[in-house]
Amino acid sequence: MDEEKKTADMEAIVSLCKRRGFVFQSSEIYGGVGGSWDYGPFGVELKRNIKSIWWRDMVQHRDDIVGLDAGILMHPQVWEASGHVEGFTDPLVDCRSCKKRFRADHVKDGRCPECGGELTEPRMFNLMLKTFLGPVEDDAATTYLRPETAQGIFVNFANVLDVSRKKLPFGIAQIGKAFRNEITPRNFTFRTREFEQMEIEYFVKPGTDEEWHERWVTDRFEWYVRYGMRREFLRLRQHEGDELAHYAKATYDIEYLFPFGWAELEGISNRTDFDLRQHALFSGREISYFDEDTGTHVVPYIIEPSGGVDRAALGFLVDAYHEEKVRKRKRVVLRFHPELAPIKVAVFPLLRNRPELVALAKDLAAELRPHMMTMYDDTASIGRLYRRQDEVGTPFCITVDVESLEDNAVTIRERDSMEQIRVPIPEVRQTLVKKLGGA
Ligand code: ATP
C-alpha cells in the first residue's frame, strides 16, 4: 500500500532541484562535499517562506511564545551539561575491505553495504563537530558547533523570563543552523551535516506536561497539513523505550512518506526538567520559576517541538511534485501552497519583439513587485515560459498580448487548473492578492 502512495521519484526531484535552481551540491566545482547543500534562487525562497510562516504561526500569532537568536558557538560546558559530550553518539562500523564507514543501525545483514566485505565491531562515534576558540588549538580552547538550537534557549531561560515577564506555560522559539557530523549523510537534503532547525521549548508546570505534549503533537501535525502535505503521507510514530533520548520521557516523530520510505520531519519530546536542572547544576546558578499561585519555586517541564527546515522543504517539494499529461505532453508541476511558492506571479509579453508589449509587461511586473515575489521573463515562447513556471510552482502567470494594448486587460493563467481569465490591468494586483489568500 505504501508503494502505491509513492508519487515522486527521488531522482526526478534531485534533477529538478539542480536544473531549476532549488538546490546545488556544495562546492560542486571542487567535486562536492558530503552532507552540505546550497540553496539556489528558488530554494532560498522556499526555505524563507517555510521559516516565515513558522515564525508567524508560532510567535507572531501567539501570546505565549517569544523568539530568540542565540549563538552557534557556546561555552564548552554547555555540551557537558546537556549530555552531548558523553552521549551524542552513533554506533559506527568500518569495512575491513573498502574502509568505508557506516552507521551500525543502517547496515542490514552484517556485511558492508558497498562491497559486501567484513565489518568491524561497532564503536561509538560523537556526532558533534569540534572546533577551537581563539588561536591555540588545545583542549582548553575546544568547543563544538551546536548540534541543536535548543541549548541556546535553555541557558537563556532566566534572561528571557526576566524581560518577558511571561507566566507558565510559555515558550521560546528559535530558528537557526545546527551541525552534526553524520556518519552517512544521505537521501539528498534529508540527512546532512549542516542544517537548519525550527525549535520551540515550551515551559509548563510539572504535572501538566503530558497534556501539553499531546496538544503540541496535534498542533504540529496539523501545521504540515495546513500548508499542503497530504494527510495520508503523514503519520505519527512514538519512540520505543530504547530509542528515547537520554533527556526524554516520551517522544513522537511526525513522519512523511518520502520516496525512500517513512522518515522524520519533526520530533516532539517531553524533555522533563532535565535540561534546566543540568544547567543549574553545571553553572551553579539557580534556574527556576516562581509560581505566584503557590508561592514556591518550580523547575518547569519542557515540551519541545523540533523540526528541520531542510526536511520540511524536501517534504513540501516531494508532496508538491506532480507529473501529468497535457495534450499528450508531459507537464511537471509543483503544486505548492501559495504561501510556500517561491515566486507568486510571472509576467510575460506574448511577443518579445514588440516593444509596446514588452514595456507594458515590464511596467506591470514593476507594479506587482513591491507586493509579492514577481518575475518577468521573455526568453522563450509562451508555452515554454508556462512550463518553466509550472516546474517551480508559480501559482499565476500573466500574459500581455496585442489585445492588451486595446483593452488594457491581460490574461491570468492559474497553475493547477490551467484556467485563464481576462482581467483589466488596474484590477490585477487586487485579484492576485485575493487569490493568493492575502500572501
Ligand atoms: P534522525 O533520527 O533522523 O537522525 P533525530 O531524531 O536525531 O533525527 P532530532 O535530534 O530530533 O533528530 O532533531 C530535530 C529535527 O532536526 C529533526 O526532526 C530533523 O528535522 C532535523 N534534523 C536532525 N538531524 C538532521 C540532519 N542530519 N539533517 C537534516 N535535518 C536534521
pLDDT tens for residues 324-353? Answer: 998 889 999 999 999 999 999 999 999 999
- Does 311 contact ligand 1 (Cβ within 6 A)? yes
Substitution site in 26, 191, 254 for ligand 1 pocket (most atoms within 8 Å of beta carbon)? 191
DSSP structure string for 169-222: SEEEEEEEEEE---SS-BTTTTB-SEEEEEEEEEEE-TTSHHHHHHHHHHHHHH
Query: Taking residues 6-11, what's their average pLDDT?
Result: 78
| pLDDT tens digit sequence for 165-201 | 999 999 999 999 999 999 888 899 999 999 999 999 9
Q: Is 266 in the pocket of ligand 1 (CB under 6 A)?
A: yes
Determine if ligand 1 sits within 6 Å of the CB of residue 147: no
Rounded to 5°, angle at Cα 432 from 431 and 434: 70
Which of ligand 1's atoms lies nearest the C-alpha of 185? Answer: 27
In the reported structure, the alpha carbon of residue 308 is separated from the centroid of ligand 1 by a whole-number distance in angstroms of: 7
Ligand 1, atom 4, lies closest to the CA of 191
pLDDT band at 7 (very low <50, low <70, confident <90, very high): low
Q: Residue 311 C-alpha to ligand 1 middle, in angstroms?
A: 8
User: How many angstroms does the Cα of residue 290 sit away from the middle of ligand 1?
Assistant: 33
Residue 386 Cβ < 6 Å to ligand 1: no
For residue 6, is pLDDT > 90? no
**8 A C-beta contact, residue 104 and residue 118:** no
| Shortest-distance atom of ligand 1 to CA 197 | 16
For residue 404, what is its C-alpha cell? 492588451
Confirm if 329 and 356 have CB atoms less than 8 A apart. Answer: no
- DSSP for 145-167 reads E-S-SHHHHHHTHHHHHHHH---
Contact between residue 62 and residue 202 where contact means Cβ atoms under 8 Å apart: no
Please state which of the ranges 3-12, 201-210, 404-413 shows the lowest mean pLDDT: 3-12
- Say how far apart CA 123 and CA 393 lie, in whole Å: 45
pLDDT at 209 over 50: yes
Q: Is 267 in the pocket of ligand 1 (CB under 6 A)?
A: yes
Tens of pLDDT, residue by residue over 235-256, are 999 999 888 888 899 999 999 9
Indicate which atom in ligand 1 lies nearest the CA of residue 266. Answer: 18
- Look at residue 1 and tell me whether its pLDDT is greater than 70: no
Share of the chain above pLDDT 70, in %: 98
d(CA 330, CA 2): 25
> What's the whole-number mean pLDDT along residues 349-373?
97
Residue 64 pLDDT > 60: yes
CA distance 182 to 165: 39
pLDDT in tens, 263-285: 999 999 999 999 999 999 999 99
- How many Å lie between the centroid of ligand 1 and the Cα of residue 87? 16
Q: What cell was used for 164?
A: 518577558
Evaluate if residue 439 carries a pLDDT over 70.
no
How far apart are alpha carbons 246 and 274 in whole angstroms? 9
pLDDT at 438: 62
- CA separation, residue 236 to residues 246, 255, 256, 266, 377 (Å): 21, 6, 9, 10, 43
Q: What angle do CA 312, 313, 319 make, to 5 degrees?
A: 85
Q: Which of 174, 255, 264 to mutate to test the pocket of ligand 1 (most atoms within 8 A of CB)?
A: 264
* Closest residue by CA, ligand 1 atom 2: 264
CA 156/CA 153 separation, integer angstroms = 5
Give dist(CA 174, CA 154) in Å, integer: 11
At 7 the three-state DSSP class reads coil
Say how far apart CA 66 and CA 53 lie, in whole Å. 15
pLDDT tens for residues 128-147?
999 999 988 888 889 999 99
Q: Counting atoms of ligand 1 from 1, which one is nearest the CA of 193?
A: 27
By most ligand atoms within 8 Å of CB, the mutation choice from 146, 183, 311, 316 for ligand 1 is 311
Q: Which residue among 195, 220, 303 has the greatest number of ligand 1 atoms within 8 angstroms of its CB, and so is best to mutate? A: 195
pTM beyond cutoff 0.75 = yes
- The stretch 96-109 carries a mean pLDDT of 89
**Degrees (nearest 5) of the Cα angle 119, 122, 123?**
130
- The CA-CA-CA angle for residues 345, 346, 350, to 5°, reads 140
Burial class (CB in 10 A: 0-12, 13-18, 19+), 215: middle
* 197 touches ligand 1 (CB under 6 Å): yes
